[in-house]
Structure formats: structure tokens, C-alpha cells
Amino acid sequence: MRGYRTILVERVDLGQGTTGRFHGLLHSGGRYVVSDERSATECAEESAIVKRIAAEAVEDTGGLFVTTPADDPGYADRFLAGCLKTGVPVQEIPAAEALRREPRLNPGISRAFEVQDGAVDAWKLLWGNARSAEEHGARILSYHWVTEVIREGDRVLGVMARDNRAQEMVRIEAAFVINAGGVWAGEIADMADCPGVTVVPGKGIMIAMNHRLVRTVVNRCEHPGDGDILVPIRTVCVIGTTDVKADSPDDYSIDRAEVQQMLDAGEVIVPGFRQARALHAWTGARPLFKDERAGEGGEDTRHMSRGLALVDHLRRDGVSGFLTITGGKLTTYRLMAETVVDAMVEQMGDARPCTTADEPLPGSEDGRHYWLGSRLAAQEEAMADDQLVCECELLPRRKLIEAARRRPGMTLDDVRRALRLGMGPCQGGFCTYRATGILHGLGDAETERADELLLTFLQHRWLGLEPILYGDQMRQACLDDWIFQGTLDVEHLPVAVPA
């Protein structure tokens, strides 16, 4: 938007990092009003902007902070004072009113506060930003893995990236390089020989339940803790999360004890929570910034700041043409971009103002927010002469074919990120083999690649299914297994099952 020729380099697919593995909450700021005042104010200001510029990706659910019988009743007054101090809009409502709005809530709640939380669809947000960038002339190179930051003396000149599709190295020269590598930002700073940018991976687990047990985002009115937020997203709701220091940002393993912890935590907010069907579990790693040189922070990730962190490598390391932006929240993504590009134009001696807070993303021009029936409403007309590939997510065949034509060589995981394939209650039981057949029929995937696509996708879905197998989802998994063994004999396909 500021008129530079820009290339975005992503090692896998957009949304494969933390942004595709988060809780889905557009923070009002309420969560941080006592523990992290700066983040609270950043979230309050930015969530209002994101609701405006990315309306299509946001469901304006509103939010509640409720004091359950398990919470310290004294926190509520500190919370209210914190909201007033940090500029987070809040209103106390009678507990009975909260229960009227959310009948499944714990009937023992003693206080309730209304805030302006929302639910955000990370993929819609990402694709909206990507389309906007492309409309302004940017190029997006996914499956390009940066392996080297090219330096000449004290100046960064560009990067070397491995094109994992074409299996070749690409040299990208640039007047400026911005490192927005999230939890991997320290690794990328190291490549530029700017050591000590430590980004601690604060790993957290989330579980999607197959109903919207609540319509509003529900937070426990307590110091931020584990499993204290329930977010309604599309047709499901998501309980989360934990926060523990991981050894590696690429550790996506799921600890069964944490699954139990989340289900127990859900019971505190909504009694009977365990009786709902758990669809899928996943983890992600928060980018928690700790500058070794500034000697900030400790080992307790829950108490590390969620504020954004700009690292000016010219001031810090004497290296020009290179900036790092990390930390922050998804809610503050736009502010992070504004902050780092402001620093870039300053270093370049340019004065181009930021307009991202004012220009809506493509698809959000009419300012209408996502609502639960919008996908059905959008598909209903077209469905008369189309077929459904995925019944759970209402994915028509036409959309799959359009996506395959737009992005040749896409994997089924890419389709999931773009079109939500396999994210519903059957977790891919019916849509996966149909989608594979369609891509194969289009000539987009030779037989062997089609087998590999199918197996890789099933394997990835399984990672998030296996730790939560109980009740109805166990029955579903058995049915899916029968479908794939019975119709395709998947265990004996002539390709290796991916690790």
C-alpha cells in the first residue's frame, strides 16, 4: 500500500505457522488489563480496526468475563479498574442477564462483564491480506524456505530461499528485508548474524467441540490461566489453552494430560462440557520475545509480555536494511506491520504514510461481518447445479476446481487452509477421498501423488484426532477407518505412509 515492490517469502503455506494454530479470539484486551497493560490497550485499539477493515473474517460475537465459583471473587474489581485504566470498553451486567444470554453457562457465576471480543477466521484474514497485497503488486512465494540472509559488510542485501516445489535455490535481492518470522524470528535474525534475538515458544493446546456451546466468547474473570476461554467459531466452539515453554517451535505434539485439563476446564465454564463431542485438538507456539541484550523476561511463558517487539538491527547490531518484528497477537497483526514499515521508511529516509487502518481488505468493503448462516446463504443459489465435496463445511466442487487451477500442485492441507476441507465433524471421512479423486481426475495429481496426498492428509488429521478419541468421535474415527480401508485399502497403497 505504500508503493514498494514487495515479495513475501513463506517456507510452507500461508497459515502453516502460528497464525493457523491459534485460538480464534479477536481480543478486546480484557484478558490483559491486569497482567499486561500495554497489550490490553494495543488489543482494544486494534480489534476495533480489524473489525472494520477485515469485517468478512470476523464474527462480532461480543464477549463476557464471568466470575465462576472456582475464581477469586476479588479479581473482578481489579479487572474493572484495569479496563478503565487501559481503555478497554467494559460494562458490568447482572449475572442473571448473562445466564439468560448464555443458558449453558455455569449457574454459579457471581459477576459478569460485557466486552467487545470477537471470533476471527485466521485463514480468511490471511487470504484477505494476501489478496490485498497482490492487488497492490506484491508477489507471494509460498513453499520458499529462507536459508540465508545475504549480507555485504554491515548491510543486508536480500535472502537465499529454497523453492521446495521446484527443488532449486532462489536468490532474492532487496533494498530492505523484514523478518516477520514469528516464533522462528530468532533463527532468521541469526542468519543475518544478529544473534541474541530470543523468541521463546509458548506452546498451547486447543480443542474444538462440535457445537457452539456458547454464542459469545466466554472468559473466566481471573488472572490469565489455562483453559479459561471458550470461543464460538463458525459451527464449533474452541476451549483453550495452556502455555508452556517448548523446546522447539516445531513441536506440535499433544500431551494427553493437557487434553484432560482442557476438558475439566470446559466443565467449569459450561457444566456438561465433556458430553459434547470433541472434534479435533491442536497446538501452536506463541512468539514470546526476550531480547538477550536487554535481559528481559524469565522462563515462565504465561507471564511474558504479549506486546509486539520491533528489533532495529541498525541501532542494535549496526546492520542496515534489516528489521525484525515479532511478539504480539494475531489481533495486533496490522499494528505490527505498520510499526515495522514505519521503521523501514524512516531508515530509508522516505516518508510514506500508512493507510492500512483505513482501507478495507478485498471482500470486506461492505463492512458486513461473518454470520453463522453466511456460508450456506452464499452456496445455496449455486448448489442447485453443483455437487458438495465436503458436507460439513459446504464446499462445492466448483470451488475446489477453481482453487486447484489457481494454485497448481496444491496439497490437500493447502485446500484445508484455503477452503476448510476436512475440518467438520467427520474430520475428512467423506471429503478426503472425493477431493483426491477430483484432483486426480483434473490431471493435477498423478496416481502416485494422489495416493501421497490422501495419506498425508489423513495422517495430519489423525495427529489431532488420536489424543481425543472418546465417545462419538471414536465412533466416527472407526467409521472413517472402515471407509478408507474398505473402499481404498489405504494401508496397502504403493506409497509410504508419511512420518
For binding to ligand FAD (CB under 6 A), which residues are involved? 9-12, 16-19, 22-25, 27, 145-146, 180-184, 188, 204, 206, 241, 284-287, 328-331
Four-point Cα dihedral 251, 257, 262, 267, nearest 10: 170
Tally Cβ neighbours within 10 Å of residue 267.
17
Q: How far is the CB of 88 from ligand FAD (least distance, A)?
A: 14
Q: How far is the CB of 25 from ligand FAD (least distance, A)?
A: 3
Give dist(CA 44, CA 64) in Å, integer: 15
Q: How far is the CB of 50 from ligand FAD (least distance, A)?
A: 9
Residue 255 CB burial class (10 angstroms; 0-12, 13-18, ≥19): middle
Q: What residues form DSSP beta bridges with 284?
A: 204
> Which CB atom, from 413 or from 480, has the smaller least distance to ligand FAD?
413
Q: How far is the CB of 448 from ligand FAD (least distance, A)?
A: 27
Q: How far is the CB of 116 from ligand FAD (least distance, A)?
A: 14
Q: What residues form DSSP beta bridges with 151?
A: 156
Nine-digit cell at 138?
506484491
**What is the DSSP track for 442-456?**
TTSS-HHHHHHHHHH
**Cα dihedral sign for 221, 283, 204, 253?**
positive
Contact (Cβ atoms closer than 8 angstroms) between residue 351 and residue 3: no
> Which CB atom, from 26 or from 454, has the smaller least distance to ligand FAD?
26
Q: How far is the CB of 384 from ligand FAD (least distance, A)?
A: 38
Phi, psi of 9 (to 5 degrees): -115, 125
Q: How far is the CB of 311 from ligand FAD (least distance, A)?
A: 13
Q: Cα 148 vs. chain centroid, distance in angstroms?
A: 26
Alpha helices (H) along 136-179: none
> Which CB atom, from 143 or from 484, has the smaller least distance to ligand FAD?
143
Give dist(CA 170, CA 468) in Å, integer: 42
Q: Classify strands 118-120 and 25-26 as parallel, antiparallel or unpaired.
A: antiparallel
Contact (Cβ atoms closer than 8 angstroms) between residue 348 and residue 175: yes
> Which CB atom, from 208 or from 435, has the smaller least distance to ligand FAD?
208
Give dist(CA 333, CA 426) in Å, integer: 32
> Which CB atom, from 160 or from 474, has the smaller least distance to ligand FAD?
160
Q: Classify strands 118-120 and 58-59 as parallel, antiparallel or unpaired.
A: antiparallel
**DSSP conformational letter for 410:** -
> Which CB atom, from 262 or from 453, has the smaller least distance to ligand FAD?
262
Give dist(CA 446, CA 175) in Å, integer: 41
Nine-digit cell at 100?
439468560
Q: How far is the CB of 146 from ligand FAD (least distance, A)?
A: 3
Q: How far is the CB of 237 from ligand FAD (least distance, A)?
A: 13
**DSSP conformational letter for 368:** P
> In terms of Cα–Cα distance, which of 306, 303, 199, 318 is closest to 250?
199
> Which CB atom, from 337 or from 404, has the smaller least distance to ligand FAD?
337
Q: How far is the CB of 32 from ligand FAD (least distance, A)?
A: 11
> Which CB atom, from 66 or from 217, has the smaller least distance to ligand FAD?
217
Rounded to 5°, angle at Cα 394 from 231 and 477: 70
Give dist(CA 435, CA 413) in Å, integer: 11
> Which CB atom, from 184 or from 433, has the smaller least distance to ligand FAD?
184
Rounded to 5°, angle at Cα 462 from 458 and 464: 130
> Which CB atom, from 325 or from 477, has the smaller least distance to ligand FAD?
325
> Which CB atom, from 151 or from 399, has the smaller least distance to ligand FAD?
151
Q: How far is the CB of 46 from ligand FAD (least distance, A)?
A: 9
